[in-house]
Amino acid sequence: MEHVARLARLALDEAEVEALRGDLEQILDYVAKLSELDTESVAPLTHLHVAAAPLRPDLEQPGLSQAQALAEAPRQSHGGFAVPRFVEQA
């Protein structure tokens, strides 16, 4: 559970971990019924109705202005999104 929570970037307290553990066990138990089906020769369905992703010409298109992009940012710094340090000092 701790591993999955770390992958999912979710901070969970002990009570939540236990409750979620129970939920996930119940659900995984149920979804195991898919193993009743022989899918050896079945191609996984990955896309519906669309044969390939459409491409467009590689030309610049208008986008959000810097001000628009930053308008809802919880913290800004030097015209960018401020985040805690994440790069090791050399």
For residue 23, the one-letter residue type is: D
For residue 22, the one-letter residue type is: G
Reference 18, options 5, 33, 29, 7; nearest CA is 5
Cross-strand pairs, 76: 81
Residues forming the site for other proteins (CB under 8 A) = 1, 3-12, 16, 19-20, 23-24, 26-28, 30-31, 33-35, 37, 39, 42-50, 53-54, 56, 64, 68-69, 71-75, 81, 83-86
Provide, rounded to whole angstroms, the least separation between the CB of residue 89 and other proteins. Answer: 14
User: Based on CB atoms, which residue is closest to other proteins, 57 or 90?
Assistant: 57
